[in-house]
Amino acid sequence: MIKKITAAVTAVVLIMSFMPLWTAADTAPVIYFDMSRYSIPEKGEEFSLLIKAINYEEIFSYELLIDFEEKYISAVDIEGNAGGTEAIKEIDNEQGSIKYIFCVNDGELDNNILARVTFEVKEIGIANAVINRNSKFLRKADKDDKTAECDIQPVWNYGSDYPSSVDFTVGKVEKPRFVTKNNQTVFPYSLEVSFEQPKEKGVEIYYTTSSKGIPGTDYDEYDLDKYFFDEPIVLSNTTTITAVAVKNGVYSGTASKKFTRDTSGLGGGSKGTGTGSIITNPNQNDNLSQQPQQTEKFADIKDHWSKEYFEKLIKKGIVGGYEDNTIRPDNRITRAEAAKIIASAINLSPAEDDGLSFIDSEQIADWARGYIKAAVQKGIITGYEDNSFKPNEFVTRSELIVLAARAFSLGEANADDLVFEDKALIPGWAAGSVAEAVRLGIISGYEDNTFRPGNYVTRAEAAKIIIGCTEL
């Protein structure tokens, strides 16, 4: 179905007869999707993508062409910024395309936002949106001459922080729920483990009883079939099962549970006649354990740039490794992990878990719940406007600096002192904290003098920032 809206505007907007290209690369605009605050929407929900511009001052009007993945999302609306004039709005959800002509005039763009596109999630999956390079941008050759125009050639491929094409997850998959029942096929008694039938059609479940990783994420793709769940799992010894649910490439949070063999009722060895059984216990595995460990056994940080920071954190008992003796320094850190490591760094004891009020609190792992509650009570971390916590969401550079600033009472500095090329991309709620962290030497920019506030933080980067805060 095609949604088409037209409005009469001045000829300067509608006339697209362009003169020779204007190619001053140093001031040419960069047109990109800003995904720094993107939060995964549920199926059926509406969400927005922001299209921003660096060096937008020369733009007088534009014809924006957007292509999107019509299988998973449908476009609802698009609107320009700066109080300009809308000329043409064409949305074609059958072809997955948008055509939008807008006159900016001499308006200032709020937060560099060129346009806001609203979509609705049709189906769970990995969606795609592209700013078509046939999009056109006009500048006025002379502000006193309303008829003289020439076109602007934007800079594309400006870097991963300024993408004109984005892939993003839409819709969420519920994590698997365990179902157990006793099975007397193995002495003394075995336990049969399966999972509830997912409400969402087309969901597949993968599981592992190994400590090597999570199926489908830490395992290579060719191993996936080996871990596909299609029949009950029969256990006769203590085993931890970790599982994920998957649909169209979208993974749920991990569900993990330890099943413990209880032999307390057995009398005299394997041929006893007692009433032993297998009982289930919540998973207590904690990949950010506070138990001090020897760093020598963590082979994956031996030659890593972050080794000294992890050594200090481990010595302080703030972090530990995984069951397979790895630190995984290049893994992205989640909100749950960030809450725990920061709480531990300021000696904040886990609060009694008498229930978290977040609507997705069941997604918060047992090892993190007390620390998250303590951090929330201290005002270090908060939930989202919809009262969700999103424990498995990754943390951006801006977000981690703000969390650290709150926890260590760093205060704020003047954001005008920041000299990064992309300082305009640093959210207003984070700019003061970032400025202070830079002043204190806790964090710095990249070699190209960018800060990249929307980049996700790795465990190694988080270790460096936390150590920097503890050594002030």
pLDDT at 186: 52
Residue 136 and residue 18 in contact, taking contact as beta carbons nearer than 8 Å: yes
CA distance 146 to 386: 47
Higher pLDDT, 278 or 197: 197
> Nearest 5 degrees, angle CA 253-CA 180-CA 211?
50
Q: Which residue type sits at 379?
A: G
pLDDT at 70: 95
Number of neighbouring beta carbons within 10 Å of residue 27: 12
pLDDT at 209: 82
Is the pLDDT assigned to residue 17 strictly greater than 50?
A: no
Check whether residue 182 and residue 264 sit in a common domain: yes
pLDDT 10s digits, 137-195:
988 765 556 556 778 888 887 777 789 999 999 999 988 988 887 665 554 567 888 99
Residue 240 and residue 210 in contact, taking contact as beta carbons nearer than 8 Å: no
Check whether residue 277 and residue 301 sit in a common domain: no
Domain boundary among 130, 154, 170: 170
Check whether residue 91 and residue 221 sit in a common domain: no
pLDDT at 44: 94
Number of neighbouring beta carbons within 10 Å of residue 455: 18
Domain boundary among 135, 170, 205: 170
CA distance 182 to 224: 28
Residue 156 and residue 78 in contact, taking contact as beta carbons nearer than 8 Å: no
Has residue 289 been placed in a domain? no
CA distance 301 to 316: 17
Is the pLDDT assigned to residue 2 strictly greater than 70?
A: no
pLDDT range class, residue 323, cuts 50, 70, 90: low
Total structural domains in the chain?
Answer: 3
The boundaries of the domain holding residue 215 are 178-282
Check whether residue 149 and residue 241 sit in a common domain: no
Domain boundary among 142, 170, 198: 170
Has residue 149 been placed in a domain? yes
Q: What are the two backbone dihedrals, phi and then psi, of residue 145, each rounded to the nearest 5 degrees?
A: -110, 105
The sign one gets for the Cα dihedral 263, 267, 269, 273 is negative
pLDDT 10s digits, 119-142:
999 999 999 999 999 999 988 765
Check whether residue 319 and residue 452 sit in a common domain: yes
Check whether residue 324 and residue 465 sit in a common domain: yes
Check whether residue 113 and residue 154 sit in a common domain: yes
Check whether residue 149 and residue 231 sit in a common domain: no
Is the pLDDT assigned to residue 103 strictly greater than 70?
A: yes
HSE (side-chain half, CA atoms, 13 Å) at 397: 24
- The CATH code of the domain that includes 47 is 2.60.40.680
* Averaged pLDDT, 395-399: 94
CA distance 142 to 149: 8
Residue 85 and residue 102 in contact, taking contact as beta carbons nearer than 8 Å: yes
Check whether residue 213 and residue 316 sit in a common domain: no
* Averaged pLDDT, 352-376: 84
Has residue 183 been placed in a domain? yes
The sign one gets for the Cα dihedral 44, 46, 47, 48 is positive
Has residue 287 been placed in a domain? no
Question: Taking Cα atoms as reference points, which of 192, 190, 158 lies closest to residue 425?
Answer: 158
pTM above 0.85, yes or no: no
